Amino acid sequence: MSVDGALARVIRSAAERDGPERCELCAQPVPEEHRHLYAIEGADLLCACGACAVLFAGDGAGGGRYLLVPRRRVRLEPVDTAPLGVPVGLVFFVPRADGTVTAQGPSPAGAMRWEVDAGRWAVMRAACPPLATMAPEVEALLVNTVRGMDHHWIVPVEDCFRMVALVRREWRGLAGGGRVWPAVERFFTELTERS
């Protein structure tokens, strides 16, 4: 999944939007709170109206071209991600349909990306059974252990894109400045309220 590609589209569409946001399949206007589809071929998120989202809600719907992004948000007990070898405390892990797992962390330039050892991910999944319920491509394990925070969530990938956009927008200077970390804390507070 190209977080930077999806992020660029989110930023571009928000800046260029003259009228209401539209479904990217049928062009019908969509409300501010709407569903998203994951386009497998382009590894991108698409806005979807209610009717188009229903079309892709079932297993195998859409001929394998699109996946409906789930809405669930589940807070987990702390998960030890250190064995995965990711050097940052604000990161999300996306399992792929082919069995691989990527880790991505927000930065002022967009998302940094690492491949995660599949064997280590399997060990972690066995230790935390909810991870085995994650939908490949469209759900992520979102972790924040920065500045004493201890958040571990299963979230829709769109939440991860929003977090990457927030860090990119609020980051100042070399260390982030005074705005980015309070904004990240608000993001996780809102995530708690939405779950």
- Please state the domain count of the chain: 2
- If phi > 0 it is left, if psi is from -120 to 50 it is alpha, else beta; for residue 34 that is beta
Q: Which of 48, 68, 88 is the last residue of a domain?
A: 68
Statement to judge: residues 113 and 189 lie in one domain: yes
* Structure tokens, 182: 């309070």
Q: What does the pLDDT read at residue 63?
A: 56
Q: What does the pLDDT read at residue 37?
A: 92
Statement to judge: residues 100 and 11 lie in one domain: no
**Segments forming the whole domain that contains residue 160:** 74-194
Q: What does the pLDDT read at residue 5?
A: 54
Q: What does the pLDDT read at residue 12?
A: 47
Each residue of 118-162: pLDDT tens digit? 999 999 999 999 999 999 999 999 999 988 889 999 999 999 989
| pTM: predicted TM-score of the whole model, two decimal places | 0.84
Statement to judge: residues 176 and 92 lie in one domain: yes
Alpha-carbon 69 to chain mean position: 10
Statement to judge: residues 146 and 90 lie in one domain: yes
